[in-house]
Structure 1
Amino acid sequence: MKNWEIIDGEYTRKVMWINHEIEMKLYYNGEDEIDGEEVDESKVEEMVEKILGNKDYWDKKCKKLFADEFVDWFNEEKWVKPEYSEIYYETKSTDKVEKELLKIIGKEDTEKIMKNNLLTKEAFKKLLDNQDMGIIIDYCDGEEDSFFTIAMHEKLFFVDKMFYACCNFNGEIDEYYMD
């Protein structure tokens, strides 16, 4: 298939999207082993263009949903502390965690997180602006609707959470979940 290359056994296409280079992964009926003759390439490309054409909508919509899910969960789980973030594991210094947060979300929000373990949705959306997103296109043949999934990843804190928004080809989010 043109514009796609096989990386780690999966059809992958790298594109610039929302100021990030992201990888789009193509699946056919949920499988990564694809026979090019089975897939209607024009329909897949139509889906790609539809996603890329609505990037601002998906960016805002998915970030808002992820922020709602993650921030509510984070603020309820009192054991989650910034000291345990991935940066801390790499540097063994909470100072580095604080510096990284200051760069991304600013002084006021960083102080709230470091002192009170409170994360606001606005601050989290700023964190997401610094993160890459992946797009998985699952092309279904038959009665099922084709759909695509936009995935966002947050690992600045101790937790390693992925958010998935599953969308139909009409451009509507059918379901979303955090894993």
Structure 2
Amino acid sequence: EGWRVPCARALVTHGDELGVGTLAVKCHGLRGHTRGSICYEVAVAGGSGRPALFTGDALFIGGCGALFEGSAAVMYAQLGRLFAALPPDTLLFPGHEYAAMLLTQAVQREPANEDARRKLAWVRRQREQRLPTVPSPLSDELAYNGWARAAARKGDFGLFCRLCGVEDAPPDGTAANAKRRD
């Protein structure tokens, strides 16, 4: 993936750990969106405070990144691993402000999901005041983000595929390029 950032002097991959001043940074591969997607878990060295997770285009408040170069199987497995590795109070910082759109879709998919309705109402109030909707605790995402819930629970790969708009494919990755539905 280094070709995407030709001026990069060093590349990171899943599992790498870095120190930046008093911060500890862990790299988590989340290759469903693109082959080289990396999320950064950032915490104060020594463990004080809540960790932050910077997800770029891979995971959003209320949703998940499009599968441009990856597969549903890879994204499902890596999201499941990510949720298992992080404490529930980890704060999610996505790369874009898509919360209103994604939570509107979540409410349409699950009209009885009161958590999604409450979060959407809060997001709309924030945006009306031109305030951000980030961060969001990962524990909250499990209440209204179908992708997060399906991946964290394991065994919901069919639901994950439907949310991604692809035909069901075995979660072992044998159908890495599941056919997209029109």
Compare the two structures and name the one with the higher helix fraction: 1
Larger radius of gyration: 1
More relative contact order, 1 or 2 (CA 8 Å, 6+ apart): 1
Compare the two structures and name the one with the higher strand fraction: 1
TM > 0.5 fold call:
no
- What range is the shorter-chain TM-score in? under 0.3
